Amino acid sequence: MTATVPTRTSTMRAAVQRRYAGPEEIHVETVEAPTPGPGEVLIEVRAAGVDRGVWHLMTGRPLVMRAMGFGLRRPRQPIAGEDVAGVVVGIGAGVTGFSLGDEVLGAAKGSYAQHAVAKEDKLVRKPSSLSFEEAAVLPVSGVTALRAVERAGISTGQRVLVLGASGGVGSYAVQLAVATGARVTGVASAAKAELVRSLGAEDVIDYRTTDVTSLDLEFDAILDIGGLTPLRRLRKVLSPTGTLVIVGGEGGDALTGGVGRQLVAGLVSLFTRQTLASFVALTAAEPLEVLVARIVAGDIRPALTRTYPLAEAGTAIVDLAAGRIAGKAAVVVGG
């Protein structure tokens, strides 16, 4: 869809954090607006998604991230946010897939701002059926969930367990698994159980009162999203030839976080008929096109439950880390 092209400005308001610290240190400042380079477009941001990755990037945890190019002493990208939805207002050299005024969604550099730059191959056109807020919460979590379901090889009739079913990635994973014809059991708090059921889960287990690994159950696939349950316990409820996919790297020590758990899973998988796997999901146009097609077909929908103004971007990340957000939340920037 093409909209009226907004006017570009030389400065903008942005949620900035110039040192590694908690999200409460994010402050809105007036900064210089970015300019798109070759293969990039400039977006007037209407909304930006809130995901766990933003917390990691702004806190610099686990520490191994700093050595991976995100900045040793301070965030290399001081403006928070990656998920983005908005209107194209500038086009760099070599861009052929987008025009001024196109409404888009995808991944950008520093999306908690009035303007953000994104690579052409990390964007797709926004379907008219989605609001900007809904579109903004699709990219990172949606692509991660899509890759998790693909990695697990979920198919019709399988029994699937989703730990973290009420979170950003989990809310999409439940729907994608159900869309394949699987029977899904979600693990979430009682307060968020109704959301998980509304996404298609047959059963919801309250992790605060019930340890799912102690039940007499067996699953063909388990998606462990940001979980801390020991591998040996998850394997008890995984079928002898089933697949466990670890999504994300929460927990663990300050240096490597949950990466160590993923490495152990890979080693154990060499000596069992069970498949214990992890993966890296990169937001790109190809999986985003798949997700948009699923949305247009009615297979999935963004479970957007909260929005925050740009001035409260730090609060949004704090709330996410504290477990106060069910499904997805968006930072509303303009419109």
Q: Do 268 and 148 fall within a single domain?
A: yes
What's phi and psi for 324, nearest 5 deg?
Answer: -90, 0
Number of domain units in the chain: 2
- Give the model confidence (pLDDT) of 54-75 as tens digits: 766 776 555 554 545 554 566 6
**Residue at 286 is within a domain:** no
> Distance between CA 81 and CA 48 in Å, rounded?
7
Q: How confident is the model at residue 23 (pLDDT cuts 50, 70, 90)?
A: confident
Element (H, E) at 20: none
β-bridge pairing 40-50 and 115-119: antiparallel
Q: Are residues 159 and 274 in the same domain?
A: yes
Distance CA 59, CA 55 (A): 6
User: Rounded distance, CA 7 to CA 9, Å?
Assistant: 7
Q: 195, 81, 89, 86: which is closest to 140 by C-alpha?
A: 81
Q: How confident is the model at residue 186 (pLDDT cuts 50, 70, 90)?
A: very high
Q: Does a structural domain hold residue 4?
A: no
Are residues 145 and 132 both part of a single domain? no
pLDDT tens-digit map of 197-235: 999 999 999 999 999 999 999 999 999 997 778 899 999
pLDDT at 1: 47
Inter-CA distances, 172 with 26, 169, 179, 314, Å: 28, 5, 10, 24
Q: Looking at residue 237, which CATH number applies to its domain?
A: 3.40.50.720
* Average pLDDT value for residue range 235-246: 96
The encoded tokens of residue 6 equal 């907004």
What is the identity of the amino acid at 297? A
In a domain, 2, yes or no: no
DSSP at 257 = B
Global pTM value = 0.90
- Are 191 and 220 members of one domain? yes
**One domain for residues 85 and 32:** yes
CA 113 to chain centre: 19
Expressed as residue numbers, the domain containing 115 is: 11-138+302-332
For the chain, give the percent of residues with pLDDT over 90: 71
221: which strand partners? 160, 243
Same domain, 88 and 190: no
Whether residues 95 and 202 fall in one domain:
no
**127 domain-assigned:** yes
Nearest Cα to 81, choosing from 324, 327, 283?
A: 283
Higher local confidence (pLDDT), 324 or 57:
324
Within a domain: 88: yes
- Give the whole-angstrom CA distance, residue 286 versus residue 271: 34
Which two three-digit tokens encode residue 22?
Answer: 């908690």
In a domain? residue 66: yes
Across the range 81-101, mean pLDDT stands at: 97
The confidence score (pLDDT) of residue 271 equals 83
Same domain, 187 and 129: no
What is the predicted pLDDT for the residue at 92? 97
Residues 274 and 315 in one domain: no
For 253, the 3-state DSSP assignment is strand
CB atoms within 10 A of CB 137: 31
Do 211 and 327 share a domain, yes or no? no
Residue 289 in any domain: the answer is: no
The Cα 44–Cα 117 span in angstroms is 9
Percent composition of the chain: helix, strand, coil (DSSP 3-state, to 5): 30, 30, 40
- Read off the pLDDT of residues 137-150 as tens digits, 9 standing for 90 and up: 999 999 999 999 99
The C-alpha atoms of residue 112 and residue 237 are separated, in whole angstroms, by 41
**Mean pLDDT of the 231-242 span:** 95
Same domain, 194 and 232: yes
pLDDT digits (tens, 9 = 90+) for 287-303: 999 999 999 999 999 99
**7-11, 52-56, 67-71, 234-238 — which is least confidently predicted?**
67-71
Residues 124 and 149 in one domain: no
In sequence order, what E strands does 165-256 have?
183-188, 203-206, 219-225, 238-247
Planar angle of CA 142, 143, 148, nearest 5 degrees = 100
Band (pLDDT 50/70/90 cuts) for residue 53 is: confident
Distance, CA of 210 to CA of 226 (rounded, Å): 18
* pLDDT value at residue 61: 56
Structure confidence by residue, pLDDT tens digits, 245-276: 998 755 555 544 556 677 777 677 778 889 89
Average pLDDT over every residue of 115-127: 97
- 111 assigned to some structural domain: yes
In this prediction, residue 7 has a pLDDT band, given cuts at 50, 70 and 90, of low
Q: Residue 47 maps to which CATH number?
A: 3.90.180.10
Look at strands 304-309 and 328-332 and give their pairing: parallel
DSSP string, 46-110: EEEEE-HHHHHHHHT-STHHIIIII-SSS-SS-B---EEEEEEEEE-TT--S--TTBEEEEE-BS
